[in-house]
Amino acid sequence: MATIEERRKALLTKKLDEMGKMGVTHRTAENSPFYDQPIEEASAQGLLEERDGVDALDTETSSPPNPIEKTMPSTEASSKQQKRSKTTKSREDFAEYQQIFLAPKVLESKTQFSLSRDTVTLLKIILQDLGSRTTLTAYIENILRDHISEYRDLINQVTAKRRRKETIPE
């Protein structure tokens, strides 16, 4: 039989454990908001291919430029038209933006880098205001990957003079 001291100690330990668990949500590592959910690489590639297909369709079905734009040099007109189409497309299709940039990403090999405090704060505010569950790291990774895929040809063209092979393989 347990003595009074042992019972008292067991009861006190039990009550302290109960008090310590008040207001605490027990989660596994996978359910943690700080855990990047794994996604398959094939589905991420499919999203990029779908987006490229949508871009190709948009350029084919775009309306002819305004007569005012015809008087401008062709490079300025095309750059203004691209900027307009990018801004209107990004406003219209937030679901596509979510699929591309707010998709969780698992980083298998990580490195450190520095960003200005203002940039990090701005990105955190963006994610918070969008109500996204993706991490800041995954958001930055998705932005950079999209930038690289969009400007791959230009980067390879400029660096071709200095290197023997492509900088960014397809």
Three-state DSSP class for residue 27: coil
Q: What is the pLDDT of residue 116?
A: 92
Look at residue 102 in the predicted model and tell me its pLDDT: 80
* Gap between the Cα atoms of 33 and 127, Å rounded: 13
The residue assigned the tokens 């063209």 is: 157
What is the C-alpha separation between 23 and 142, in angstroms, rounded? 35
Instruction: Tokens for 133, please give them.
Output: 């569950």
The pLDDT of 70-76, averaged and rounded, is 49
Which tens digits make up the pLDDT trace of 74-131?
555 566 566 556 665 655 677 788 777 787 777 778 888 888 999 999 999 998 988 8
Question: What's the mean pLDDT in 8-32?
Answer: 79
CA-CA-CA-CA dihedral for 17, 23, 28, 34, to nearest 10: -130
> What number of residues does the chain have?
170
Q: Are the CB atoms for 133 and 104 separated by under 8 Å? A: yes
Distant-in-sequence, close-in-space partners of 107: CB < 8 Å, separation ≥ 6: 36, 137, 138, 141
Q: Find the distance separating the first CA and the last CA of the chain, reported in whole Å.
A: 75
Between 14 and 75, the more confident residue is 14
Domain residue limits, the chain: 37-159
- Supply the pLDDT for residue 18: 84
Tell me the per-residue pLDDT of 28-60, one tens digit each, with 9 for 90 and over. 766 666 655 555 555 555 555 555 554 444 444
- Degrees to nearest 5, angle at CA 116 with 110 and 121: 90
In the DSSP assignment, the letter for residue 32 is S
Query: Does the predicted TM-score (pTM) go above 0.75?
Result: no
Q: Tell me the residue type at 136.
A: L
Nearest alpha-carbon partner for 146 in 93, 82, 99, 76: 99
Q: Which secondary-structure segment (H or E) carries 76? A: helix 74-92
Q: Which pLDDT score is estimated for 72?
A: 45
- Provide mean pLDDT across the span 13-42: 70
